[in-house]
Amino acid sequence: MARRIPTHLPAVLVLGLVGQVGQVLLLRELLMVFHGNEFSMGLILAAWMAWVSVGSRLGAIVAERNGRPLALLSLNAMAVAVVLPATILLIRTLRGFFRVLPGAYLSLSDIALSSFLVLAPVCLLLGAQFVLLSRAWRDSDQTRDMGAAGKTYAGEAAGNMIGGLLFTLLMVRHLNSLQSALLVAMLMLVANLVAPGAAALHRQATSARLRWMALGIFPVILLAFGLAQRLDNWASTVQWRQLVPQHRLVETYQSKHGTISVLQRHDQYSFFQSGHLVFSTAGPKAASPGFEEQEAANLAHLALVQHRQPEQVLLIGGGLRGTLSEVAKHPVERIDYIELDPVLTRAARPYVSHSTRAALSDPQVHLVHTDGRLFVKTTSETYDLILVDLPDPTTAVLNRYYTAEFFVEARAILNPSGVLIISATSTPELQDIAVANRNAMLYHTLNSVFAHVLVAGDHYLVYVASNAAGQISMDVSVLEQRFQERGIESDSFSHHHYQMLLYESLLRRANWVVRVHGRSQAAHLQGPGPIPLALGAIVEQQYAEETLPPVVERYFINSDLRPIGYSYTLMLWEHWTRAGQSASFRWLLHVEPWWVLPWVVLPLAATATLGRWGGARRRSDLGFGILLAVFTTGLSIMALQIALLLSFQTVYGFVYEMVGLIMALFMGGLALGTLLARKFLLHRATVPTLATMQLLIALFAVLIALILDRAVTLPSPTAVLFLFSALTFASGMVNGVGFPISAACYLALRGNADRAVGAVYGVELLGACLGAILASVVIAPILGLVACCLFAAVGNATAFLALMICRRSHA
């Protein structure tokens, strides 16, 4: 006899689908406002899980007091249909609620406050929907155990997986944010009102009113879907007017790598992707090249003369702002130009200068649309010169071009006399802590890989590195001679510019600061100190550097697994745009590994204290121990997910595109883990079983910590993709196995199914919320990605010990 399909399964699947698509949509929208940095990603996810947790607790209270869960589900679905698209429109106007300068970064407190306030309505509704569906499924099965909760948990995870795949493969390519939100909202309405599980509702007195309400909402949603493109354009215009009020939004393009916005101010065009400025350029009708193209010309001609005879050149980024056309004026044989997004190239062509368009069609230029880091890792070509012309490392995805691992990969494809050039914004004096830390960090990281490193510039520093003695130089006469011998003609640059770019006093000061700063234990907190009045020549500084103390690697070597570079850069931008308000990032530099100790001692002390109480309170320690295990599981799994996401991004560089697929993998593992636990372990849902699970999760976290260091250096991208996919899926399985066991243990202790579901689901999400904040904001950028894994291991090991204490007190 065939098994009957559960009547509530469609509604549960759609809840997961709506939750996943809604989360990714709102994450992408908020990243636009927060300039795409990973600090904000953790805070957004934390806010999401915190409010879903609160919603589940409220849902448990309502489900306990109300005997009509299906009616409540339908009302909830109607509310989601309105609130989800409204939240997107609200996010587009978010910057208008803060007093910040145009283009300024929001502080950590601003990001946290706005994330928690904006996401509250939709997350409360989704959290309540889970508990209501669990109650409806339990009533349908006519059981009082936690079986229905486990089914709902697994079904929601399966829906999450479907939603992640649907968004990644279809929605992100063909629909804008509002259209996607309205589409999934309609699916939720259909699932709750038309699906077989709603049949019982039709026999209730409220059914007629609910059907009429739903019928009233459907035309509104359909009308909104038809107007979604106009609404999206209007909301985008409002958003950019707040961000850069003197610019006009010209066009918007949807790309799998993020929304591309083209803005115009007079004859200047600026291109933003996911809210982050990619480049600016003078338009084709501009009378003069403009500042941006002048800056590109300075960089290109200072870089190209660092090699005596460059023939094979690799340019990563920057070509559309004018760098490519200036590089092409040198007598090189081949230029491989790497640009990640073909949509960006296509969008920029009508607006860039004539010289840039001509360079893109030049036979010696080979345009490759791929990730630059991936290209460097996998190419079989070798180069005389590599020029990295990318924005400052304000995000982890940009920071990966400024790490020791990338420099090693670049060195591997350089010819023996090859040269690598990077650049970053700065100030002439380099006296502020933020600018000194970031730029000294870049120098020391380069210097750890290359034998010779020189620095030039004032408001914009250019770093030149090579292993060939005598190849690179900051001698004006040497560079002028190389430039003139090549017979280059440029409207933006002449050999006289070297005198301006290599002004002797600025050159000596910049080289002194980046060489000396970062060699004491408190350097990252104190700044570079006073600059001597009489600074030696560059050659003298190079010899003197050999006598200086070693560099403090923890704070001044940027690496893939310890991406401190983007923390320093965010501190720097916050200092420039919000003077006097930069403490929110700077305090992170005080973080120490031993701070984890209270997280171990306090829970164990609380468990031991509760276990000594007598009478009716004696079971308090057991309830505390179970919820602690639930909490640490959520915390640990989220910390591991942050570590895996950032590690994957280090290799592939486009988590923004893949976030839906990555979450789908995690949720697929979670659904499978829940089903396996229900089938094979639920009958053994005891405290010792739960304690064993905590120990296994701790060991799993240690295993990931051991794997990460080697995983990011694997030469095969396919192998890396498979490995990280497997680890993500396994993380989901571990989390899925833990939920039904924890819920069953807590139900056996407390006896109320609705409250047990709400408590376990809510506490797990609160743990995940804290894990997201700590991992993304505190641990990953300061202590490193491996530390995230070890932090997770410590959390679950603590829960294991607490459960062992509980077991002993009840023996």
**Of residues 277, 287, 273, 263, the one with CA closest to residue 354:** 287
SS3 424: strand
Written as six digits, the tokens of 627 are: 């919820």
Cβ–Cβ under 8 Å, residues 292 and 282: yes
Q: Is 811 exposed, middle or buried (0-12, 13-18, 19+ CB in 10 A)?
A: exposed
For the chain, give the number of residues: 811
Distances (CA, A) of 718 to 88, 661, 666, 714, 728: 35, 16, 19, 9, 15
Written as six digits, the tokens of 57 are: 């607790």
Cβ–Cβ under 8 Å, residues 460 and 425: yes
List phi, psi (to 5°) of 471: -75, -50
Please, which residues have CB within 8 angstroms of residue 310's CB and are 6 or more apart in sequence?
304, 330, 332, 384, 385, 419
Q: What span, in angstroms and rounded, lies between the C-alpha atoms of 366 and 337?
A: 6
Q: What's the per-residue H, E or C state across 7-49?
A: CCHHHHHHHHHHHHHHHHHHHHHHHHHCCCCHHHHHHHHHHHH
Q: Is 491 a catalytic residue?
A: no
Alpha helices in 427-503 (DSSP H): 433-447, 476-485, 497-501
**β-strand pairing of 276-282 with 268-273:** antiparallel
**β-strand pairing of 312-316 with 383-388:** parallel
User: Dihedral of CA 295/300/301/302: which sign?
Assistant: positive
Cβ–Cβ under 8 Å, residues 415 and 383: yes
Of the candidates 336, 389, 392, 560, the residue annotated as catalytic is: 389
**β-strand pairing of 268-273 with 260-265:** antiparallel
Q: What span, in angstroms and rounded, lies between the C-alpha atoms of 254 and 252?
A: 7
DSSP secondary structure of 606-630 = HHHHHHT--GGGGGHHHHHHHHHHH
Residue 353: in which H helix or E strand, if any? none
Q: Is 506 exposed, middle or buried (0-12, 13-18, 19+ CB in 10 A)?
A: middle
β partners of residue 248? 264
Active site residues: 389
